[in-house]
Amino acid sequence: MSTATTNQGEIHRVHHDGDGRLSDTLVDAVADLTDTAPADLPPLETRINVPALDALWETDAPGRPTAGCLTFTYGGYVVVVRSTGVVLLRETTDTG
């Protein structure tokens, strides 16, 4: 995980390389940032449809979007998932 600092605060950057599930990469990144076990975080499915997230930019899926991003909050972070596999996380006051 690499980190960049912007005027809005610290932005953490994680790249999902396509191995495993995108949702697992995301949960692991938030767990690392919060020094929390993944099992102790709120269930991701309370914030987003996990199968849809995992399938959103699968390379083998027919008709998949080739560009775009998805933004939501999870575990105290604003999460931006880009079609390139980059996941950006910025701390927020939302604890969802």
Q: Which DSSP string do the residues of 14-76 spell out, in sequence order?
A: EE--SSS-HHHHHHHHHHHHHT--GGGSPPGGGTS-HHHHHHTT-TTSTT--SS-EEEEEETT
The pLDDT score that the predictor gives to residue 60 is: 58
Per-10-residue mean pLDDT of the chain, 96 residues long, equals 51 86 93 94 95 76 71 94 89 65
Q: Tell me how far the alpha carbon of residue 5 is from its chain's centroid.
A: 18
> What does pTM read for this prediction?
0.80
Of 63, 67, 92, which Cα lies nearest the Cα of 77?
92
The pLDDT score that the predictor gives to residue 28 is: 93
